Chain A
């Protein structure tokens, strides 16, 4: 028994150290996106995932090969959590020919089907619609669709329509509401009647609210939800409480935040929570985790260098549109 427990603990230590590495990669990726944006090399607008890393990493770690994910315009985290090549993602943001979509999509609309990412959807609620439809197709194959979306989406028309649609047809879909407290610049309580969780519950959908900054909780909750959906129990709903450490988008100074709120959430930074958990649960040392950080630093240096050196696409190639 003791040996089995030790082996299981070692396996968990390796797994969660890997999840920590992914979260760290997302954080550092977003730092670089911010820097490159300020230099005018990432264009338009961009929405960073900094502070919310445990959500995408925890949920995506619970998925199998047949499952598919629809994310939002704040989708770099989901993409990286699913294993999308960071260099190709950065090249996409820089508008390069080696980008995930050869520079056609940019930050808000990344698609990488090879890595289960059916897309990032830049209209609020679009991810819910996309995942609901994907679940209709996956029902035949045994896969599960996941939709990531924010608290603001609870007030978008897609939310009640698609949740009800999925419920009446028992679709295998997991709805992950990442409640980061603000819909763009507005506190969600100010514009949301009642509790978000009551809405899926009223429809008869299994729903729970969890600490979205604790990757153990997120992974366990998601794994159980995915299992229920795969077993034919219909749609599942997770409200994952979290916080973004950055503005909604590049034009947002964050003036709406209550005094002290950021400091409080900084103390619950998912990277800090995960480092502490790895030490407390499995005895992983700070030195070991510092080495993970150093590896991520080296990886990010090459990501930025390789993506920055990639060529821009030729306009003639982008004009070659064979669709309708």
Chain B
């Protein structure tokens, strides 16, 4: 199988789903004629026409509201919110309309929409173009949050998100777009974590870019006699706690690595669930997240801010 970039995996998934289902439409700012500011959606308008793939005004409230209304009306909209930092603008529509509709309507209709967004720090974009939005939506029943770490998962899970009957927030880490990997035409399964490296001494749980930092850390730790297992959560809502529990049965030690503020983050949720159901298996459990202050711009400050491979190694060796 040929290797492709993460960004091309995104485009291929959109392409295949636009082809597969006439009800799928895709819109956002600069996504059609220009092909997206992260070059993820080129050629789609030419192929499917401006009725199905189109550029919008810079109006996030209208974009998200239109996604909601058209989904209730029988379409399957995919929208792009250019930077995840713009998601607070669409919070009302996603939280108060889309996420609640299936339940409040007593299941008269679901809201099959996907919000694609580019997230994450490390690109020197500063405090308001680098954030990770997951914890903002973690506590909202009715929304699924998908966070792939590889081109293969990006493609398979975006296809799954588009076919899902619920609103899905699909988070694309900016520092993964250029990553290469294999991708096929399969439709993935939302809500399944994956053991990406087997080990027996400690379980490292992460998502997105953090998975690659964790794998690099595990390689370095193996040279120091520590055999780490690495789990890629892939979906952050709903959480696949079962895969984590099975791992800690073996390793008895758990560190959760989250790019996102420590307070109120998903790492805390993973720890809580593991302790609720697997306390008897746990000798030690902790988290490594980003500090509780805004993301700094200056390169040495931003590098220090992020939980990279070295920080993970040190955190495990220092326990």
Q: Which A residues are within 8 Å of any B CB, using their own CB?
A: 68, 70, 100-102, 104-105, 109, 111-114, 118-119, 121-123, 125-126, 128-138, 145, 157-158, 161-162, 164-165, 168-169, 321-324
- Flag if B142 contacts A133 (CB, 8 Å): no
Are B72 and A133 within 8 A (Cβ)?
yes
Residue B108 CB within 8 A of the other chain: yes
Contacts of A161 in B (CB 8 A): 57, 59-62, 65
Residue of B nearest to A129 (CB): B65
B70 contacts the other chain (Cβ, under 8 Å)?
A: yes
Quick one: which of B65, B105, B238 contacts A111, CB cutoff 8 A? Answer: B105
Residue of A nearest to B64 (CB): A129
B65 CB contacts on chain A under 8 angstroms: 126, 128-130, 132-133, 158, 161-162
Cβ-closest chain A residue relative to B61: A161
Chain A residue with minimal CB distance to B71? A133
Measured between beta carbons, the chain A residues less than 8 angstroms from B77 are 133, 136
Taking a contact as CB atoms closer than 8 A, the residue among B75, B105, B109, B237 that contacts A324 in the complex is B237
Total A-B residue contacts, Cβ distance less than 8 Å: 148
Contact partners of B96 in chain A: CB under 8 A? 121-123, 126
Q: Decide if B70 touches A133 in the complex (CB within 8 Å).
A: yes
CA distance A121 to B72 in the complex (A): 14
Check B104–A109 contact: CB distance below 8 A: yes
Say if the beta carbon of B277 comes within 8 Å of chain A. Answer: no
Do the beta carbons of A104 and B106 come within 8 Å of each other?
Answer: yes
Candidates B73, B106, B143; contact of A134 at CB < 8 Å: B73
- Tell me, in angstroms, the Cα distance from A84 to B108 when the chains sit together: 14
Confirm or deny: B139 has a beta carbon within 8 angstroms of a beta carbon on chain A. no
A123-B96, A165-B62 given; 5 more Cβ-contact pairs under 8 Å: A104-B103, A113-B109, A125-B61, A145-B69, A165-B59
- CA distance in complex: A134, B70 (Å): 5
Contact B105 A137 (CB under 8 A): no
Decide if B62 touches A158 in the complex (CB within 8 Å). yes
Q: Is B83 an interface residue (CB 8 A)?
A: no
Q: If A123-B96, A134-B69 touch, does A165 touch B57 (CB 8 Å cutoff)?
A: yes
Residues of B within 8 A of A323 (CB): 99, 102-103, 110, 141-142, 165-166
Q: Contact flags (1/0) for B95-124 with A, using CB distance below 8 Å?
A: 011011111111111100000000000000
Q: Are B75 and A136 in touch, CB under 8 angstroms?
A: yes
Partner of B144, one of A137, A321, A324: A324
A106-B63 Cα distance, complex, nearest whole Å: 28
Contact of A132 among B69, B109, B110 (CB under 8 A): B69
> With a CB–CB cut-off of 8 A, which chain B residues contact A121?
96-97
Which residue on chain B has the smallest CB distance to residue A124? B92
Q: Could you say which residues of chain A place their CB within 8 Å of the CB of B245?
A: none
User: Given the complex of chains A and B, what is the CA–CA distance between A98 and B141 in angstroms?
Assistant: 24
Interface range, B side: 35 or more
Contacts of B107 in A (CB 8 A): 322
Contact residues in A for B25 (Cβ distance below 8 Å):
136
Q: How far is the CA of A105 from the CA of B108 in the complex (A)?
A: 12
Query: Shortest Cβ distance from A67 into chain B, in angstroms?
Result: 11
| Closest residue on chain B to residue A99 by CB atoms | B106
- The docked-state distance in angstroms from the alpha carbon of A114 to that of B96 is 22
Interface centre among B66, B93, B168 (most CB of A within 10 A): B66
| Separation of A131 and B102 alpha carbons in the complex (Å) | 17
In Å, the complex CA distance between A104 and B103 comes to: 7
Contact A118-B72, Cβ < 8 Å, known A104-B106, A129-B93: yes
Q: Would you call A134 and B237 a contact (CB within 8 A)? A: no
B75 to A, closest residue via Cβ: A137
A136 touches B66 (CB 8 A): yes
Q: Which of B70, B110, B238 is most buried by chain A, counting CB atoms within 10 A of its CB?
A: B70
The residue from A70, A105, A164, A165 contacting B105, defined by CB atoms under 8 A apart = A105
- Is there an interface contact between A138 and B73, defined as CB atoms closer than 8 Å? yes
A293: min CB distance to chain B, Å: 33
B68 within 8 A of A: yes
Q: Does residue B56 face the partner (Cβ distance < 8 Å to A)?
A: yes
What are the 4 closest A-B residue pairs judged by CB atoms, nearest first?
A133-B69, A129-B65, A137-B73, A324-B166
When the two chains form their complex, are residues B99 and A168 in contact, meaning their CB atoms are under 8 A apart?
A: no
- Binary interface profile of B, 209-248, with partner A (CB < 8 Å = 1, else 0)? 0000000000000000000000000000110000000000
A256 CB to closest chain B CB, in angstroms? 27
Q: Is the CB of A324 within 8 A of B238?
A: yes
A123 touches B104 (CB 8 A): no
> Shortest distance in angstroms between A71's beta carbon and chain B's nearest beta carbon?
13
Are the CB atoms of A157 and B61 closer together than 8 Å? yes
Q: What's the minimum C-beta distance from A141 to chain B, rounded to whole angstroms?
A: 8
**CA–CA, A125 to B69, complex, Å?**
13
CB distance from B286 to the nearest CB of A (A): 29
Query: What are 26 A-B interface contacts by the 8 Å CB criterion?
Result: A68-B73, A100-B106, A105-B105, A111-B104, A111-B105, A113-B105, A113-B108, A121-B97, A126-B96, A129-B66, A129-B93, A129-B97, A130-B65, A133-B65, A133-B69, A133-B72, A133-B77, A137-B70, A137-B75, A158-B65, A161-B60, A161-B62, A165-B62, A323-B102, A324-B237, A324-B238
B89: nearest chain-A partner, CB-CB: A157
Residue of B with least CB distance to A137: B73
Whether B110 contacts A136 by the Cβ 8 Å rule is no
What per-residue 1/0 map shows which CB atoms of B43-68 lie under 8 Å from chain A? Answer: 00000000000101101111111111
| Residues of B contacting A100 in the complex (Cβ-Cβ under 8 angstroms) | 106
Is B185's beta carbon under 8 Å from chain A?
Answer: no
In the complex, how many angstroms separate the beta carbon of A24 from the nearest chain B beta carbon? 29
Q: In the bound complex, do residue A123 and residue B62 qualify as a contact, i.e. CB atoms below 8 Å apart?
A: no
- A220 to B168 alpha-carbon distance, docked (Å): 42
